[in-house]
Copies of this chain bind each other. A is one copy, B any other.
Amino acid sequence: MALMAPTQQVKRRATNQGAAVKEALAAEDTFRSAQDVYATLRASGEKIGLSTVYRHLQIFVDDGLADVIHKPDGESTYRLCGDASTTHHHHLVCRQCGKAVEIEGPAVETWADKVAAQHGFSDVNHTVEIFGLCTACAA
């Protein structure tokens, strides 16, 4: 249940598949679903299985290399977000194309902690995502 655990890279083998998934994510600054990444890789001739895509995406999250956003329809989307040392941040996401901008809101962080403390909640954690239509999709 430990939260906020910093980087603690577990021994990990270097494989083509792992690199391919990372590349696919790195190629776009949008949040993408596992199914989407899988389809893209297969379309580009990559030899990889769906399970493997899921596995690597989860690994990136565990290692703090990627962020996840759970869309309202239940699908999980991933995006590389610097290494684990990167500051805590949130996202402004286009609900149409998934393009995301990293944003910070120091005030929000402190506010969240304060509110939680006032109600006696511990081991606090929060999610803040702003959705909208990017200029491109607004057309």
Q: Mark A116-139, 1 if CB is under 8 A from B, else 0.
A: 100111111111111111110010
Which residue on chain B has the smallest CB distance to residue A94?
B121
CB < 8 Å neighbour of A122 from B107, B122, B125, B132: B132
CB < 8 Å neighbour of A131 from B68, B92, B125: B125
Q: Least Cβ distance of A75 to chain B in Å? A: 8
Which residues of chain B are within 8 angstroms of A95 by Cβ–Cβ distance?
A: 125
A123 vs B123: C-alpha distance in the bound complex, in angstroms? Answer: 33
Q: Least Cβ distance of A13 to chain B in Å? A: 27
CB < 8 Å neighbour of A132 from B72, B103, B121, B138: B121
A131 vs B111: C-alpha distance in the bound complex, in angstroms? Answer: 13
Are B125 and A132 interface neighbours, CB within 8 A?
A: yes
Are B120 and A130 interface neighbours, CB within 8 A?
A: no
Most chain B CB within a 10 A radius of its CB, from A72, A92, A95 = A92
Are A126 and B131 interface neighbours, CB within 8 A?
A: yes
Which residues of chain B are within 8 angstroms of A127 by Cβ–Cβ distance?
A: 127-129, 131
